[in-house]
Amino acid sequence: MNLIGEKISYKPDEQFHLNDVSFNFKKGNLYTILGRTLSGKTTLLKTIAGLLNPDQGSISFEEKDFIKIPVWERNVAMVYQQFINYPHLNVYENITFPLEQRKLSPEQIKKDVDEALKTVGLVGFENRKIQELSGGQQQRVALARSLAKKAKILLLDEPLVNLDYKLREQLREEFKRIFSEGLSQDTILIYSTTDPQEVMELNGEVIVLDEGKVLQKGPAKEIFENPSNLKVAEISNDPPMNVLKGSKNSKNLNFENIFLEIPNHLKNLEDKDYNFGIRASEIKLDENGEEFEIELAEISGSETLLHLKRGNSKIIALIEEVMNFKIHEKVKIKFNANKFYAFGEDEKLVSSPYGGTNG
């Protein structure tokens, strides 16, 4: 009864948009697809919706070959990152459109639409024109249209990316409520995003996609704690996880002429060269720390992002207060050695502070 994709490949031009992607989505679950722009997220969702036919591979749903069913008979719902609504219809008509297409009774349509409007918080906006709504409201209409359909597969393609920061925060909170209230237990929800924070908050099963390939699958917590390789570590952190080329010997960790005491979880590692990973938030300003040069300091909200340089290494530190720095100024920082990841030279995870290894 699941939505199963096997070895799906799609290569319309020189590059793979999807490369050997397999999945098994169970009803009642939330799946997030995490990947940078152009990693194939939209292609994957469009393939599931039926807007694209893969060159290879199969998709089945409820034991039926999905690829043979045309889009308009698949009963899926999709919300795009652009706010796509029918501009010639008002809010109410926009939401009834798919229901009327399915020739439901007027009573049923009214009930479903009212319910959906309530869920997304647009009661009272029924007769508004789409053009009169703000971006956030337009996206709510698109979401309401998808919810009212009661489709068995709901696809959300970066629904928040085109909204401003504040609205994004607000709608993200609401999404969690909407997903728990507004969906029945046999819906498969697939949500794609570039934002690791969204993935963590939605807390579903995650698929990390890059250049059309699946890099890692697993629960959000697992992806965060034990990224299987450097790419995943980069994609699943914002700012991306810092990478420091260095080595371990019997006494300490060594990179850019910095020597750190070996944290417990790295003690049993073989002595050789590694790519060490450390999150931006695990770097603190400290008078007794190591000297780095500031390349750029950005203030974002109540935080300061410091782009630092030492030797050949460039790292980003996240300081949790607003501070003013001069470019090329020297600062001293300290690494939280207990949160060091070790990746091998093949970029695969060797050891993580949460106990994960890559077998």
Partner 1 sequence: MSKLYTFLKYFFITFWTVFVVAPFLWAVSTSFKDFQSVNSKVTYIPWLDFEPTLEGWRVLIKSPAKGGVDIVEPYFNSIFVTCTASLISIVLGTLAAYALSRFTFKAGFVRNNDITFFFISQRIMPPIVLSIPFFIFLSTIGLLDSLLGLVVVYIVLLMPIAVWIMVDFFNRVPKELDETALIDGCNPYQAFYKVVLPNSIPGLIVAGMFCIIFGWIDFFFAFILTFTEVQLLPVKVVALNSSITPWWSLSASALVSVAPLIIVAFIVERYLSKGNLSGALK
Residue numbers of the site for partner 1 (CB under 8 A)? 46, 49-51, 70-78, 80, 82-88, 97-98, 101-102, 145, 149
Task: Name every residue whose Cβ is closer than 8 Å to that of residue 217 and which is 6 or more positions away in sequence.
Answer: 23, 205, 206, 207, 208
**Least distance from partner 1 to the Cβ atom of residue 352, Å:** 40
First to last CA, the chain: 32
Beta strands (DSSP E) in the chain are 3-10, 18-25, 30-34, 56-61, 64-65, 76-79, 153-157, 188-193, 205-210, 213-219, 242-248, 252-255, 258-261, 273-278, 283-300, 303-310, 313-319, 330-335, 341-343, 349-351
Q: Is the CB of residue 284 less than 8 Å from the CB of residue 333? A: yes
Alpha-helix residue ranges (DSSP H) falling in 152-295: 165-181, 196-202, 220-225, 230-235
Closer by beta carbon to partner 1, 70 or else 301: 70
Closer by beta carbon to partner 1, 14 or else 73: 73
**Least distance from partner 1 to the Cβ atom of residue 141, Å:** 12
**Least distance from partner 1 to the Cβ atom of residue 224, Å:** 32
Closer by beta carbon to partner 1, 84 or else 318: 84
Closer by beta carbon to partner 1, 76 or else 260: 76
**CA 312, chain centre distance (Å):** 30
Closer by beta carbon to partner 1, 153 or else 258: 153
**Least distance from partner 1 to the Cβ atom of residue 76, Å:** 6
Closer by beta carbon to partner 1, 145 or else 168: 145
**Least distance from partner 1 to the Cβ atom of residue 74, Å:** 8
Burial class (CB in 10 A: 0-12, 13-18, 19+), 160: buried
Closer by beta carbon to partner 1, 86 or else 354: 86
**Least distance from partner 1 to the Cβ atom of residue 49, Å:** 6
CA distance 71 to 295: 50
CA distance 51 to 171: 27
Backbone φ, ψ for residue 21 (5° rounding): -90, 130
**Least distance from partner 1 to the Cβ atom of residue 187, Å:** 15
Closer by beta carbon to partner 1, 155 or else 178: 155
Q: Token match 């789409």: residue?
A: 130
**Least distance from partner 1 to the Cβ atom of residue 215, Å:** 27
Tokens of 216: 């890692």
